[in-house]
Amino acid sequence: MTIYIVRPGDTLYAIAQRYGVTADALIFDNQISDPLRLVPGQALYIPVTSVSYTVRPGDSLYRIARSYGITLGALLDANPTISAVSTLYPGQTITVPFDDEQFGTALVNGFATGSNAESIREALPYLTYLSPFSWSAGMDGRLTPPANAEPLRELAFPFRARRMLTVTNLPAEGGGFNSDIAHAIFTDEAAQNNLIADLRRSLAEGGYAGAIFDFEYIYPNDRESYNQFLRRVTEALHQEGYLVMTCLAPKISDTQVGTLYEAHDYAAHGQIVDYVILMTYEWGYTYGPAMAIAPVDQVRRVLDYAVTRIPSEKILLGMPNYGYDWTLPFVEGSAARAVSNTRAVEIAAQYGAEIQYDERMQAPFFNYYDEQGRRHEVWFDDARSIRARLTLIAEYGLAGLSYWTIDNLFRTQYLVLSSMFGISDPGGGAVETFSVW
């Protein structure tokens, strides 16, 4: 693959011709809603590993390499009959190569609420596991299944992806993560017995591959109680051949303070369960100031710490699948508006904004003024930022990644993924990846 950054004056059809693909392919792969309104700075995924370029008067090897965003060395390697001092002739054909950066296989989990069946169906070929969100645990340990459990089971049936049963301390009647529910489960043997019994029954009846525990906002003094609970439930589920995973807040030290972090014991989880999902997102969040949702520099800090406590081959990197639109100036207590990654580009086109790219955070953003004259800032993901974070999986030797969530279709992220990794199947092999045309 290659990634092309739109320049002022570009047309979709000229870009397609330049890379030897059809405009329809670019429209589909990049979910372009209006082919006549490309946005300067917009990143386009292009499904090619090389192109044949016809030399024009005045061309040089350096100019050609630079225009395609590759090095002179890469251009020379792809054309062994040409040297750095060769004279080019108009009409001469040379090969321009692009790296596919194949890094082996990756385990891929996708959380889903079930709000968009078409998006989920298109994501399924790229998943090892589909995880309906979520089964609510009560104070007594009893589990309440989500309404999406059966519809997602039917969606997943034709595909190789297995389903994981996700357990949370979110109350069945609604509301946020409940610390008291977690405390009751961790400290009450009867509640644990109920939860384990419900789990065994639900896993067997539903044909699940295992369970994911996403307990958040746990009281700090429940840290060891949580560890003991995990030891017990993991032993019980392992006896019946089930996988166990946990979700962990993005910490950078053992002593990081805060209810979100303190009870998440990286070393213990790394020793007890099969895989951990690092929730490496929400630096830019609904009630905070405008910034990247998953800045690479901050994700690196988490990984630098995590791999010292958890075997790297047990770690799944959390991948957000959304952006935020903030109204400026940021005021404490104000809320950003969540937007899909494709909607973000449509907003930029609508208001004539130019997309910029933060090299430190490895994330795209733009500003615009709405009809009321208010300034906005939007951060989201594109092919470049997806590639940057996927590269970390290979760099740190991680098991793979986990999407939150797959309910909004962002086709480019799956195409970039499949150009870099094969998708591990639940048995440890590799699933053949294929086009979703």
Q: So which residues are the catalytic ones? A: 216
139 within 8 A of 178, measured Cβ to Cβ: no
CA dist 77 and 30 (Å) reads 30
Phi, psi for residue 68 in degrees, rounded to 5: -100, 0
Q: How far apart are the first and last CA of the chain?
A: 17
CA dist 95 and 103 (Å) reads 24
User: CA geometry: angle at 302 spanning 186 and 408, to 5°?
Assistant: 80
Residue 152 CB neighbour total at 10 angstroms: 22
DSSP 260-305: TTTT--HHHHHHHSSEEEE----SS-TTS-S--SS-HHHHHHHHHH
CA proximity to 172, closest of 198, 217, 135: 135
CA proximity to 400, closest of 293, 276, 302: 276
Encoded tokens for 226: 């949580």
Longest Cα separation, the chain:
82
CA dist 345 and 158 (Å) reads 33
Q: What is the CA radius of gyration of the chain?
A: 24
